[in-house]
Chains A and B, each alone.
Chain A
Amino acid sequence: MNGLITSLLAYLSAHLPALQVVVPLVAAPLCLLAGRAGLAWIIAFTASVAATAIAATLAYLTFHNGVIHYDMGGWAPPWGIEYVVDTANAFILLLVSAIATVVLAFSPASIAKEIRPGSQHLFYCMFILCLTGLLGITVTGDAFNVFVFLEISSLSSYALIALGGQRKALTAAFQYLVMGTIGATFFLIGVGLLYMMTGTLNMADMQARIPALQDSRPVLAAFAFITVGLALKAALFPLHLWLPNAYAYAPSAVSAFLAATATKVSLYVLLRFTFTIFGAKFAFLDLPLHWALLAPAVIAMFAGSFTAIFQRDIKRMLAYSSIAQIGYITLAISLASSAGIAAALIHIFNHGLIKAALFCAMGCIFYRIGSTRIENMAGLGQQMPWTMTAIIIAGLSLLGVPLTAGFISKWYLVQATLQADLWWLVLLIALSSMLALVYVWRLVETMYFKDPPPGREAAGEAPLSMLLPTLLLAGANIYFGLDTRLPVSMAESAAALLLRGQLP
């Protein structure tokens, strides 16, 4: 019996990279078959917990033992599909699956309020399918496979957004569908061009063959298509226009999940393609990717924040704030130094925690007052003190106040910028952080210092099943502000791996 378990465990651990995707993939049709919301939730949640455990194990293994290669179905690369896990994508896998688990724990009560009873099990099916797609994009070492999973995650997220209560959710989902498809098509065209030139879809193989073809037009075109396509998926300014509506009108749980993970995974793919496949020298020395990323990033930091200041719907405000925060991440990437990549990855992680906490808190508020418009939230501070605590903690973290995760992000970002001798950028970062203070403050001011609007009943706290995950995420913002070992060590190891000493 013991022998059986040992061999089973050995079998499982040998297939961890595949299981990372297969477990949620299998859970999706099961959710559909379950037909009832409660059962579907149990299946989705179990799969998500399993995915988190697998991601944690993979992260541990790659951090200590190095890169894991896995041949799908026993077909050796470059003919078969290969999964490759190193610290860079293990870190993202961990973020995505952990956020999914917390948001799923948050979902049942929130979904019961926001989605009509008949289609709640469909929500779980789509959610877990979206998770499958995001994990697949991250784990695979095959360029075409990235596209397949990109479509899985995108299609399911269109459906998830369309589940939102207002009719505007449908137009938002439709716009996202059109834009997402354009982005995915650009990406596919790029991969196609690369395939045409290199004759391979395996990333490692491409990496080996591209240097010889660097000056050929198709490779240059492929680079343009892939970067623009991914910038669209990552909502990089000015390709961010689909994002505010999508996040604002989606159900709360969907906003929380997508805001924390979806754009981040696209940014990871951007990192992987520029640094691993095309190579940093090609992208940053031969081609002007530095400026192509930096200029929009700086504009995004300001335009996103200014627009956020004037929003009246707080979910929309948070969406614009995300655009500004993506600006910080792309700014860090544009530095093309190991400090810059590490700062980008650290902020990907920390910003995921911040936005998940804030959107979950908005979910709690929506649950009680049925709105996330600022004028309806007046005076909620006294009525929902714990939700408010979570908002304040996550808000401080968004500002980058010391002792929160956001401070760690800002610190590494500023250090990386200074190492590149771009002190004027430090000033711009500081200035745009001031803007975040304005919109976070506006929220706190309304909730604490204004009287409730007449006619609104006294709202209590949201149910514990929603409140606890929200507070957990807020607590994580403090925890990772004090104990920075996990994100910093993972990000620094990942940065070294991605850069491979290509640039000085």
Chain B
Amino acid sequence: MIAEFPPGLLLIGGAVLVPFLKGNLRSAYSLILPLLGILQLTTFEPGSFGAMAAFGFEQTHVRIDKLSLLFGYIFYIAAVLGVLFAWHNDDALEKSTALVYVGAAIGATFAGDLITLFFYWELAAIAAVFLIWAARTDRSFRAGFRCLLIYMVSGVLLLSGAAMYANATGSVAFNNIGLESPGGIFILLAFGIKCAFPLLHNWLQDGYPEASVTGTVFLSAFTTKLAVYALARGFAGTEVLIWIGVAMTAFPIFYAVIENDLRRVLAYSLNNQLGFMVAGVGIGSALAINGAVSHAFAHIIYKALLFMTMGAVLFRTGTAKGSELGGLYKTMPWTTGFCIVGGASISAFPLFSGFVTKSMILTAVAEEGYVIPFLVLLFASAGVFHHSGIKIPFFAFFAHDSGKRPKEAPFNMLLAMGLAAFLCIAIGVYPQPLYALLPFPVDYAPYTTTHVVTTLQLLVFSGLAFAVLQRTGLYPPELRSTVLDFDFSYRWLAPRIIGWIMALGGRAWTAMTGGVLLLLNGLIARIFRTHGPHGILARTWPTGSMALWAAALLALSLAFYFQ
């Protein structure tokens, strides 16, 4: 019986009971649901069930193939990690919305048609917003609202696109859509908003860091990766995605480097990592798709790990600002270690999970002969190491001593982080089980000399750049000691160039978003003048002029009808 039950509904239905439980029982219950879900996935055979007809179209509630199964597994794993990490937090609202959120993301993953996808898509959006609100701060409330507006635009675009697609093709099946099909552009934009395409990305850096310590861990795993899944399903091989992906990897780096709030740094680097996946989807070859989805798989784990470590720091010290932290390794050794593992994974160090997945994407880009994208992706890889691999652990746990002596993170957090760190290393050392899950057969060896050497070169030079910036005081907090010493010749040249690029990139970015904001504000002011309480459209009119309108309209219709 369990085999024929829609996997998403298991969690969504289960969430109803959460408010009625308390304490450990509630947390245990929340843990059992995703574990049951994993159990259910192991019984799934490729195929589909839950066919129904509504709105005059054939719908497939659950469609199982390798792509949806892979995302199903990783979503459940992320849910397990998230629930463990949040064990101590006895908040009914956050626990139940987290379950609904996970369930909706999983339901959307298995949706075989666009209408079912839309239902789960909207549910996931609403649940995500409630998860942000669960922090119950004024800032989180405002950020959540902004997210809600943007998610709704995405939902409307998806629905309009689906309606056009269905009208033209007579089918709502969710397979490869492509840009050429009617409504394709709308659906792509809908996915793009959730995937934080450049200029559509602001909700991510805005909303995620405002959620609670535990909420962010959930958020980081689902919405954007669901969008990656949807892109891989609907728009594999759409060339424009390569360029979008490339832009996504490059731009956030400038921001991540100058940002002080370390959770926001992670949000920027999340955006950058998505760029690799989007570029992979855009290439569309078997290797590239494999790379994109496996990177999503690995990324969910190490990104959750990084957010968990920063969450633990925030939980213990009350701040995640780089300038106020430092020297925490003395009292939080475990968290420090896990953070370094997460940093190594995101930076794609050999023997860590990011390496075995990201190199597939890079190889695929090179194989298809995209030179510029390849170079930008390489640059971005260096940048990732720079801000996530070094900056995060360095500022939080080392750097200059902030004098803070917090306790080590609670046991449940350490357990969740340890589990995630274990998975990061396990995938990096022994990637074959992950490769076996991928949608296409894998004929790829990550540990060749070229791969390893290229990566190491990149990482070393990136480390060097960090050291340069440290030494010359380009980083916001003043620092006397640095980790690395380096050759004198870089002291003069490197900071100038990097500083110049950073300033230019940052300025261009601000100008773009600022321009859009300015336009919007002008528009709103104009609307307020006409529609606001004293505007012409909202005033109480004298009866005489109302009657005049009626007469004018009558005259107009008479004139039209008589001609």
A positions within 8 Å CB-CB of B: 174-175, 178-179, 182-183, 186, 217, 220-221, 223-225, 227-228, 231-232, 238-239, 241-242, 244-245, 287-288, 292, 303, 306-307, 309-312, 320, 401-403, 411, 414-415, 418-419, 423, 426-427, 430, 433-434, 437-438, 441, 445, 449
In the complex, the answer to whether B554 meets A228 with C-beta atoms within 8 Å is: yes
Cβ–Cβ < 8 Å partners of B145 in chain A: 441, 445
Instruction: State the Cβ distance, A403 to closest chain B Cβ, in Å.
Output: 8
Contact of A174 among B122, B157, B543, B550 (CB under 8 A): B543
Contact of B531 among A186, A307, A449 (CB under 8 A): A307
Cβ–Cβ < 8 Å partners of A292 in chain B: 557, 560
Cβ–Cβ < 8 Å partners of B535 in chain A: 307, 310
In the complex, the answer to whether B163 meets A415 with C-beta atoms within 8 Å is: yes
Complex Cα spacing A411 to B55, Å? 9
Cβ–Cβ < 8 Å partners of A242 in chain B: 546
Cβ–Cβ < 8 Å partners of B160 in chain A: 414, 426-427, 430
Contact of B543 among A175, A220, A307, A309 (CB under 8 A): A175
Complex Cα spacing A415 to B148, Å? 25
Contact of B550 among A179, A221, A310 (CB under 8 A): A179
In the complex, the answer to whether B163 meets A223 with C-beta atoms within 8 Å is: no
Contact of A310 among B156, B157, B532, B547 (CB under 8 A): B532
In the complex, the answer to whether A449 meets B149 with C-beta atoms within 8 Å is: no
Cβ–Cβ < 8 Å partners of B533 in chain A: 310-312
**B144-170 CB contact bits vs A (8 Å, 1 = yes)?**
010011001100110110011001000
Closest A residue to B122 using CB positions: A402
Contact of B562 among A220, A411, A415 (CB under 8 A): A220
Cβ–Cβ < 8 Å partners of A228 in chain B: 550, 553-554, 557
Cβ–Cβ < 8 Å partners of B35 in chain A: none
**B511-548 CB contact bits vs A (8 Å, 1 = yes)?**
00000000000000001101111010110110100110
Which A-B residue pairs are the 6 nearest by beta carbons?
A306-B531, A224-B557, A430-B156, A220-B561, A310-B532, A307-B531
Known contacts A221-B558, A292-B560; A310 and B163 CB within 8 A of each other: no
Complex Cα spacing A402 to B148, Å? 16
Contact of A434 among B119, B152, B538, B550 (CB under 8 A): B152
Complex Cα spacing A186 to B547, Å? 12
Cβ–Cβ < 8 Å partners of B540 in chain A: 244-245
**B128-142 CB contact bits vs A (8 Å, 1 = yes)?**
000000000000010
Complex Cα spacing A100 to B151, Å? 38
Cβ–Cβ < 8 Å partners of B156 in chain A: 430, 433-434
Closest B residue to A183 using CB positions: B550
Complex Cα spacing A240 to B562, Å? 26
In the complex, the answer to whether A310 meets B141 with C-beta atoms within 8 Å is: no
Complex Cα spacing A423 to B562, Å? 31
Cβ–Cβ < 8 Å partners of B163 in chain A: 414-415, 418, 426
In the complex, the answer to whether B557 meets A227 with C-beta atoms within 8 Å is: yes
B29 CB–A CB distance under 8 Å: no
In the complex, the answer to whether A306 meets B527 with C-beta atoms within 8 Å is: yes
Complex Cα spacing A300 to B281, Å? 43
Cβ–Cβ < 8 Å partners of B557 in chain A: 224, 227-228, 292
Cβ–Cβ < 8 Å partners of B550 in chain A: 179, 182-183, 186, 228, 232, 239
B509 CB–A CB distance under 8 Å: no
Complex Cα spacing A183 to B546, Å? 11
Instruction: State the Cβ distance, A482 to closest chain B Cβ, in Å.
Output: 11
Cβ–Cβ < 8 Å partners of A320 in chain B: 538
Cβ–Cβ < 8 Å partners of B549 in chain A: 238-239, 241
Instruction: State the Cβ distance, A179 to closest chain B Cβ, in Å.
Output: 6
Cβ–Cβ < 8 Å partners of A441 in chain B: 145, 148
Cβ–Cβ < 8 Å partners of B543 in chain A: 174-175, 178-179
Cβ–Cβ < 8 Å partners of B167 in chain A: 415, 418-419
In the complex, the answer to whether A231 meets B538 with C-beta atoms within 8 Å is: no
Complex Cα spacing A337 to B562, Å? 25
Known contacts A312-B533, A434-B153; A401 and B122 CB within 8 A of each other: yes
Of the A-B pairs whose beta carbons lie under 8 Å apart in the complex, a sample of 17, sorted by A's number, is: A179-B543, A179-B550, A220-B562, A221-B561, A224-B557, A231-B553, A239-B546, A239-B553, A244-B538, A292-B557, A307-B531, A307-B538, A311-B538, A415-B167, A430-B157, A434-B152, A434-B153
Instruction: State the Cβ distance, A166 to closest chain B Cβ, in Å.
Output: 13
Known contacts A174-B543, A182-B547, A228-B554; A437 and B531 CB within 8 A of each other: no
The total number of A-B Cβ pairs within 8 Å is 113
Cβ–Cβ < 8 Å partners of B141 in chain A: 445, 449
Cβ–Cβ < 8 Å partners of B553 in chain A: 228, 231, 238-239
Closest B residue to A185 using CB positions: B550
Instruction: State the Cβ distance, B91 to closest chain A Cβ, in Å.
Output: 16
Instruction: State the Cβ distance, B188 to closest chain A Cβ, in Å.
Output: 15
Chain B CB within 10 Å, residue with most, of A174, A310, A441:
A310
B422 CB–A CB distance under 8 Å: no
Instruction: State the Cβ distance, B300 to closest chain A Cβ, in Å.
Output: 27
Complex Cα spacing A303 to B536, Å? 11
Cβ–Cβ < 8 Å partners of A239 in chain B: 546, 549-550, 553
Instruction: State the Cβ distance, B230 to closest chain A Cβ, in Å.
Output: 17
Cβ–Cβ < 8 Å partners of A287 in chain B: 560-561
Instruction: State the Cβ distance, B134 to closest chain A Cβ, in Å.
Output: 13
A183-B550, A220-B561, A228-B554 given; name 20 further pairs at CB < 8 Å: A179-B550, A182-B547, A217-B562, A220-B558, A221-B562, A224-B557, A224-B558, A232-B550, A238-B549, A306-B527, A307-B535, A310-B528, A310-B531, A310-B538, A402-B118, A402-B119, A418-B167, A426-B164, A427-B160, A437-B149
Closest B residue to A238 using CB positions: B549
Instruction: State the Cβ distance, B180 to closest chain A Cβ, in Å.
Output: 16
Cβ–Cβ < 8 Å partners of A403 in chain B: 119
Complex Cα spacing A220 to B153, Å? 44
In the complex, the answer to whether A423 meets B554 with C-beta atoms within 8 Å is: no
Closest B residue to A396 using CB positions: B126
Closest B residue to A399 using CB positions: B152
Instruction: State the Cβ distance, B241 to closest chain A Cβ, in Å.
Output: 23
Instruction: State the Cβ distance, A135 to closest chain B Cβ, in Å.
Output: 26
Complex Cα spacing A239 to B552, Å? 11
Instruction: State the Cβ distance, B434 to closest chain A Cβ, in Å.
Output: 35
Complex Cα spacing A310 to B163, Å? 32
Contact of B541 among A241, A307, A419 (CB under 8 A): A241
Instruction: State the Cβ distance, B464 to closest chain A Cβ, in Å.
Output: 48
Complex Cα spacing A182 to B532, Å? 28
Cβ–Cβ < 8 Å partners of A437 in chain B: 148-149, 152
Instruction: State the Cβ distance, A86 to closest chain B Cβ, in Å.
Output: 25
Complex Cα spacing A186 to B549, Å? 13
Instruction: State the Cβ distance, B28 to closest chain A Cβ, in Å.
Output: 28
Cβ–Cβ < 8 Å partners of A306 in chain B: 527, 530-531, 537
Contact of A307 among B153, B537, B558 (CB under 8 A): B537
Cβ–Cβ < 8 Å partners of B554 in chain A: 186, 224-225, 228
Complex Cα spacing A231 to B554, Å? 11
Instruction: State the Cβ distance, B132 to closest chain A Cβ, in Å.
Output: 12
Cβ–Cβ < 8 Å partners of A183 in chain B: 550
In the complex, the answer to whether B119 meets A423 with C-beta atoms within 8 Å is: no
Complex Cα spacing A220 to B167, Å? 37
Closest B residue to A305 using CB positions: B531
**B35-77 CB contact bits vs A (8 Å, 1 = yes)?**
0000000000000000000010000000000000000000000
Complex Cα spacing A244 to B164, Å? 36
Instruction: State the Cβ distance, A194 to closest chain B Cβ, in Å.
Output: 14
Instruction: State the Cβ distance, A503 to closest chain B Cβ, in Å.
Output: 19
Instruction: State the Cβ distance, A427 to closest chain B Cβ, in Å.
Output: 7
Complex Cα spacing A174 to B554, Å? 22
Complex Cα spacing A402 to B122, Å? 8
Cβ–Cβ < 8 Å partners of B537 in chain A: 303, 306-307
Cβ–Cβ < 8 Å partners of B531 in chain A: 303, 306-307, 309-310
Instruction: State the Cβ distance, B510 to closest chain A Cβ, in Å.
Output: 26
In the complex, the answer to whether A179 meets B546 with C-beta atoms within 8 Å is: yes
